[in-house]
């Protein structure tokens, strides 16, 4: 379970302070598929980053499987993240110096007991699922935006993570390819994973069990 209690997060830049999340309380059950919606700048990515242990709240509490995340060392958090969480970033965050199949293998490098051969097999399988078998030796800058997005999805699902966090995973795709990516997220959900997906697309949100709406850093009904 993912539980946020009164979570607040601000960003400080030279001139202004932005309250990105304002006392958000939210609970996502194991195996639930939740869509996050709301206008640009309302805090969706911030929320996902906190759930993905990529950032920490200023105030309030985040619990993962009934364990409070506050006060844990960076090392412990990254171990937890590597073990449990797959992340599709809004801006992909592919490693530019690695080709497609090596990018997809990255999450498996942290798994003990997965051989190089097994890593390659799983990565190719995930790339096959996103329709990129013919591009595995390309580098990210040789791919279109939609293809990079699909590599990011393959990398997020390759380790069959318990929690899958996806930030606009279909934002750069046409409707047919978007539907295929949605089918992959649904497959993860059917396999028992918790899926949290940010989307602007009501049709995509309709695939989820429930939609959480944010406005100006607050949850609205």
Q: Which residues bind ligand ATP (CB under 6 A)?
A: 11, 13, 18, 20, 40-46, 90
20 binds, among ligand ATP, Mg ion, none (CB under 5 to 8 A by kind): ligand ATP
CA distances from 193 to 84, 99, 163, 185 (A): 10, 28, 6, 9
Residue nearer to ligand ATP on the CB measure, 56 or 99: 56
Q: For residue 83, how many other CB atoms are within 10 A of its CB?
A: 14
Considering only residues 3, 45, 49, 170, which one is a binding residue for Mg ion as defined by CB under 5 A? Answer: 45
CA distance 100 to 88: 15
Rounded CA-CA distance 186/183 in Å is 5
**Contact partner, 41, from ligand ATP, Mg ion, none, Cβ < 5-8 Å per class:** ligand ATP
164 binds, among Mg ion, ligand ATP, none (CB under 5 to 8 A by kind): none
- Spatial strand order of the sheet with 218-220 comes to 85-88, 163-167, 194-198, 33-37, 210-215, 218-220
Task: Work out how close the CB of 107 gets to ligand ATP at its nearest, in angstroms, rounded to a whole number.
Answer: 23
Report in angstroms the alpha-carbon separations of 5 from 145, 146, 157.
Answer: 36, 35, 28
What mask, x for binding Mg ion by CB under 5 A, covers residues 69 to 108? Answer: ---------------------x------------------
**CB of residue 55 vs ligand ATP: minimum separation in angstroms?**
9
CA distances, 136 to each of 42, 101, 116, 205 (Å): 36, 5, 16, 30
Among 60, 90, 67, 96, which Cα is nearest to 2's? Answer: 67
- Closer by beta carbon to ligand ATP, 8 or else 90: 90
Residue among 35 and 123 whose Cβ is closer to Mg ion: 35
Token pair of 118, please?
């097994």
d(CA 134, CA 196): 29
By CB under 5 A, residue 49 contacts Mg ion: no
Cβ 49 to Mg ion shortest distance, Å: 9
Judged by CB, which is closer to ligand ATP: 12, or 176?
12
Binding partner at 40 among Mg ion, ligand ATP, none, C-beta below 5 to 8 Å by kind:
ligand ATP
* Binding residues vs Mg ion (CB under 5 A): 44-45, 90
């Amino acid at each position: 379970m993912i539980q946020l209690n009164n979570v607040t997060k601000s960003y400080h830049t030279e001139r202004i302070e932005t309250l990105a999340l304002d006392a958000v309380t939210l609970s996502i059950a194991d195996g639930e598929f939740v869509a996050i919606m709301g206008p640009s700048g309302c805090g969706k990515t911030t929320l996902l980053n906190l759930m993905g242990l990529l950032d920490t709240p200023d105030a309030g509490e985040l619990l993962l499987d009934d364990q409070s995340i506050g006060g844990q060392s960076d090392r412990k958090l990254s171990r937890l993240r590597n073990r449990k969480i797959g992340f599709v970033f809004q801006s992909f965050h592919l490693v530019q110096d690695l080709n497609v199949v090596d990018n997809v293998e990255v999450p498996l490098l942290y798994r003990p007991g997965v051989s190089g051969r097994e890593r390659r097999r799983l990565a190719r399988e995930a790339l096959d699922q996103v329709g990129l078998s013919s591009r595995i030796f390309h580098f990210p800058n040789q791919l279109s935006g939609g293809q990079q997005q699909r590599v990011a999805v393959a990398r997020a699902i390759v380790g069959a993570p318990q929690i899958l966090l996806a930030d606009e995973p279909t934002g750069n795709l046409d409707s047919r390819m978007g539907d295929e990516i949605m089918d992959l997220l649904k497959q993860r959900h059917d396999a028992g994973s918790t899926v949290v997906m940010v989307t602007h697309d009501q049709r995509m949100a309709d695939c989820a069990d429930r939609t959480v709406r944010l406005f100006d850093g607050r949850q609205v009904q």
